[in-house]
Structure 1
Amino acid sequence: MDKKEEKKMEAYIYGGIFALSNKLQLLGDKFDSNISTKQWFLIAIIASFKYEAPTISMTAERMGTSRQNVKKMASILERRGFLVIVKDKEDGRIQRLELTKYCTDYFEQRMESEEKYIENLFADFDEEMLLGVFKGIKQLEKNIMVLEKQNEEES
């Protein structure tokens, strides 16, 4: 592949990520009218912390968004019973996000349909294709971290 074709492919991938992100969000929002894709992602991020309830800041960092955005979504989810915002036991200024039993039960009930959704999303992906996409996304994450660090140093 020549350099010109490579640049075209990179531009397509870059734009495609945005288009796919929008389509995935719309599709996910239709999947369950009770919870948006972004709210689901926030809950998934909180659940990924295994040893203690994460702080709002820890969650925002892992989610790739602002602390204020997480706080706003968490407040909505708290009112709907999916999580509670609690003060840290050692430092009352720190707020942690804890998923409720209601949340756990809710997602257990939809687990089968979630698995089917993911299965359909990745239909016709063979192992090689899946591994290629996985490796590509991991490399993009690394490159983005380098660019973020460069931007911080320049600021």
Structure 2
Amino acid sequence: MDIKDLSKKHSNTRENQIKGIFANLFLVQNRLQTEFDNKMDVITLKQFMLLIMIKQSYEFKEEITLTKLGSLLGCSRQNVKKLALQLEQKKFIKIIPSKVDSRASSIQPLNLLHKYFKERNEENMKMLSVIFSKYTDKEIGKFYNLLDKLHEGVEEFEDYEKD
């Protein structure tokens, strides 16, 4: 039995479909992380995602703190700091005191970060193209919008836990 067989056998009700979607999100995330970690040269997928967030904030000329990065990535400040320290050792970033909040640490991208993205962009796009090759442009648009709704649901779940 494989994942496709299992999914088909349990797709007869909304409840089973929801369970299947949830399980598949977990399985896909694990498989993507394993494959990207094997195919990327000097950084892991988690480090790559952190670099993307840092790069985006830099392009918008926004200071980005470890706490804000944790919030964006859905993990703790401590986990982000661990990743950031690894990236600092590899000379991608520098951790500096925040200009806005003296208690916080922010991230400054270094030249190697920009060089890395410039050199890896074509290969990264090829990998993403393989993953999404089965989708039409219309399906990609729908999928993108559905992921927004999924994020909204996760935010509601986070609030649900607080009540």
Aligned to 2:77: 67
Aligned to 1:142: 152
The residue type equivalent to 2:127 in the other structure is: Y
Aligned to 2:16: 8
User: Once structures 1 and 2 are overlaid, which stretch shifts more, 82-91 or 139-148?
Assistant: 82-91
Q: CA-atom RMSD, angstroms?
A: 1.5
Q: CA deviation at 1:132?
A: 2.4
For each residue in 1:51-97, what CA deviation from the matched residue of structure 2 results, as whole angstroms up to 9, or x when unmatched?
22301111110111000000111011101101000112354322101
What CA distance in whole angstroms lies between the structure 2 residues aligned with 1:123 and 1:32? 20
What CA distance in whole angstroms lies between the structure 2 residues aligned with 1:131 and 1:106? 28
Aligned to 2:122: 112
For 2:50, which of 38, 42, 52 is the aligned residue?
42
Q: CA deviation at 1:101?
A: 0.5
The residue type equivalent to 1:29 in the other structure is: D
For each residue in 1:81-129, what CA deviation from the matched residue of structure 2 results, as whole angstroms up to 9, or x when unmatched?
0100011235432210111111110121111111111111110210232
What CA distance in whole angstroms lies between the structure 2 residues aligned with 1:89 and 1:144? 31
Q: Which runs of 5+ in 2 are unaligned?
A: 1-10
Write the mapping of 1:51-66 to structure 2, written as runs, cut at 5 A.
51-66=61-76
Q: Flag as ranges the 4+ runs of structure 1 deviating above 3 A.
A: none
Q: CA deviation at 1:40?
A: 0.1
What CA distance in whole angstroms lies between the structure 1 residues aligned with 2:148 and 2:101? 35
For each residue in 1:17-54, what CA deviation from the matched residue of structure 2 results, as whole angstroms up to 9, or x when unmatched?
00000001011101213100000001111122122230
Q: Which runs of 5+ in 1 are unaligned?
A: none
Of all paired residues, the percent bearing the same amino acid is: 25
Distance 1:91 1:10, change over 3 A: closer
Aligned to 2:86: 76
TM-score by length of 1: 0.91
Counterpart of 1:98 in 2: which secondary structure? strand
What CA distance in whole angstroms lies between the structure 2 residues aligned with 1:48 and 1:148? 25
The residue type equivalent to 1:126 in the other structure is: T
